[in-house]
């Protein structure tokens, strides 16, 4: 057996070790040997090995100097001496001042939205600010509006979760009772009307959370957004800023977006421009596809394959499947005098179980009957259609929950997953 390559890096104060693992390669192990260092705001424990699976991108930063060791063969690994970490930490310091003021005045902590084009490090900055806040004893809310990525749940959803402990490398956020809404597409432009509706519903719910939990209210909220910042994408950003009653918008890397928001936001919303980290690199299409597949797999099997989902069989007649949105019909194709349905993209359309469902993810709605508003009801969880038996009229579902399933109303998603 070939020896595992080992590299040692000595980091000076305010230096950062950036490394990437190969998309189709082996995992890489990181160990802090001496000094102090953190990864995306999470303090590393000396002597502990942290595992980074294929396709991972990481940056280990030290304020005071450290020695770290990489075991394995990363695709790239280098030390960066110029980083925006001081700027980011200053932002955290301002947020902490606002939290202390909120405590003193029994008010609401800062509500921050991070925006910018794709691949500028929005999710990473959100993670750092959340981790730093938790290390100060806070319990901030994290809201993820990036439907293509799925930081809280799977791609094709938006959601919110209270962050009570730092997001450890490789483990992600402690997803204890997240609030998740179905959208069903990985692109926000697929159904703008639906995305605005569920964004407003999510905002209404989390703002109510502030009224019932003072500690969460004092801690505030960090909101991650997608990288579509032009045209309708910009309208989605301004809609979210209004719905969540945002106090501060952090714009990464794009001065045009910064100036547009300065122009359009109310005076009480502060807009700041910050540089992206040099470690934020462009992700190609294959990497995005692989990441989405990994997110879905982690939902069913856990980050380290520690979960054991069930194969559950259900009869066609025992479940109700719907999709949201129907194709818009041109006025030229309609009978004379009829107008196109302006609400077609938010219409609830029944779907008969059949071969077309194969490999699709379906969201299990919290709704107990179809009399409830399926658009704005959050979801209980997800299943994947493994097999469709039209002869026996049965579906085989991959499910985190054993039979019988707690609900029978499902919303079909464009997101698909195939067992390997």
d(CA 129, CA 143): 13
Ligand-binding annotation for 16, yes or no, is yes
User: What pLDDT does 212 receive?
Assistant: 92
Domain with CATH 3.40.50.300 in the chain: 85-274
Place of tokens 């559950």: 312
Average pLDDT over residues 303-321: 92
Of 318, 323, 322, 320, nearest to 403 by C-alpha is 318
Residue 330 pLDDT class (50, 70, 90 cuts) = low
CATH of domain 309-416: 2.40.30.330
> Which one has a higher pLDDT value, 70 or 1?
70
What strands lie across the sheet with 66-71, from one edge to the other?
6-11, 66-71, 28-35, 49-52
- Please list the residue range(s) of the chain that carry CATH number 2.60.120.1030: 6-83
The answer to whether the annotation marks 57 as part of a ligand binding site is yes
The tokens 């955290």 sit on which residue? 92
Give the residue carrying structure tokens 């190969």. Answer: 22
230 is in an annotated binding site: no
Mean pLDDT rounded to a whole number for the chain: 91
pLDDT tens by residue, 164-175: 988 876 666 766
Residue 387 has pLDDT above 80, yes or no: yes
Report the alpha-carbon distance of residue 185 to residue 189 in Å, rounded.
Answer: 9
Give 212: exposed, middle or buried? Use CB within 10 Å, 0-12, 13-18, 19+. exposed
pLDDT in tens, 253-279: 999 999 999 999 999 999 999 999 877
CATH code, 85-274: 3.40.50.300
Tokens matching residue 297: 């797999």
In this prediction, residue 344 carries a pLDDT of: 82
Name the H helices within 147-264. Answer: 192-212, 214-219, 232-243, 255-264
Q: pTM for the complete prediction?
A: 0.94
124 is in an annotated binding site: yes
- Banded pLDDT at 335 (limits 50, 70, 90): low
- Pick the range with the lowest mean pLDDT from 113-127, 234-248, 292-306, 373-387: 292-306
pLDDT digits (tens, 9 = 90+) for 106-156: 999 999 999 999 999 999 999 999 999 999 999 999 999 999 988 899 999
- By CB atoms closer than 10 A (0-12, 13-18, 19+), residue 187 is middle
Q: DSSP assignment of 115-139, as one string?
A: E-STTSSHHHHHHHHHHHHHHTT--
- Residue intervals in the chain for CATH 2.40.30.330: 309-416
How far apart are the C-alpha atoms of 408 and 394, rounded to whole Å?
14
Distance CA 195, CA 289 (A): 21
Topology annotation, domain 6-83: Jelly Rolls (2.60.120)
Is there a binding annotation on residue 121? yes
Q: Would you say 392 is a known binding-site residue?
A: no
């Amino acid at each position: 057996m070939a020896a595992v390559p080992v590299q040692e890096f000595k980091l000076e104060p305010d230096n950062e070790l950036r490394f990437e693992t190969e998309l189709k390669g082996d995992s890489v192990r990181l160990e802090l040997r001496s000094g102090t260092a953190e990864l995306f705001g999470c303090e590393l424990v000396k002597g502990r090995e942290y595992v980074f699976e294929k396709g991972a991108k990481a940056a280990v930063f030290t304020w005071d100097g450290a020695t770290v060791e990489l075991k394995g063969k990363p695709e790239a690994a280098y030390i960066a001496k110029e980083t925006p970490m001081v700027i980011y930490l200053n932002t955290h310091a301002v947020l902490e001042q606002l939290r202390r003021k909120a405590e003193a005045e029994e008010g609401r902590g800062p509500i921050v939205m991070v925006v910018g084009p794709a691949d500028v490090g929005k999710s990473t900055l959100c993670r750092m600010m959340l981790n730093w806040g938790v290390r100060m004893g806070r319990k901030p809310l994290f809201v993820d509006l990036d439907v293509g990525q799925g930081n809280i749940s799977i791609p094709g959803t938006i959601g919110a979760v209270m962050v009570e402990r730092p997001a450890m490398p490789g483990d992600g956020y402690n997803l204890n009772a997240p609030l998740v809404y179905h959208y069903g597409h990985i692109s926000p432009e697929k159904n703008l009307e639906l995305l605005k509706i569920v964004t407003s519903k999510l905002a209404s719910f989390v703002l109510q959370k502030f009224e019932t939990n003072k500690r969460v209210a004092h801690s505030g909220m960090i909101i991650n957004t997608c990288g579509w910042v032009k045209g309708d994408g910009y309208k989605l950003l301004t809609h979210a800023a209004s719905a969540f009653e945002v106090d501060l918008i952090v714009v990464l890397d794009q001065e045009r977006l910064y100036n547009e928001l300065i122009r359009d936001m109310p005076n009480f919303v502060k807009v700041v421009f910050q540089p992206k980290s040099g470690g934020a690199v462009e992700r190609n299409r294959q990497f995005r596809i692989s990441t989405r597949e990994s997110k879905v797999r982690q939902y069913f099997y856990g980050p380290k394959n520690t979960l054991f989902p069930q194969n559950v069989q259900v009869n066609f007649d025992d479940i109700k499947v719907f999709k949201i949105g129907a194709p818009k019909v041109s006025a030229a194709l309609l009978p004379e005098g009829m107008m196109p349905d302006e609400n077609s993209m938010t219409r609830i359309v029944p779907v008969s179980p059949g071969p077309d469902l194969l490999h699709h993810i379906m969201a299990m709605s919290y709704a107990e009957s179809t009399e409830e508003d399926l658009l704005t009801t959050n979801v209980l969880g997800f299943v994947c259609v493994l097999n469709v038996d039209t002869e026996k009229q049965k579906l085989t579902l991959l499910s985190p929950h054993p039979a019988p399933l707690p609900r029978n109303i499902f919303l079909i998603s464009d997101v698909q997953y195939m067992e390997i």
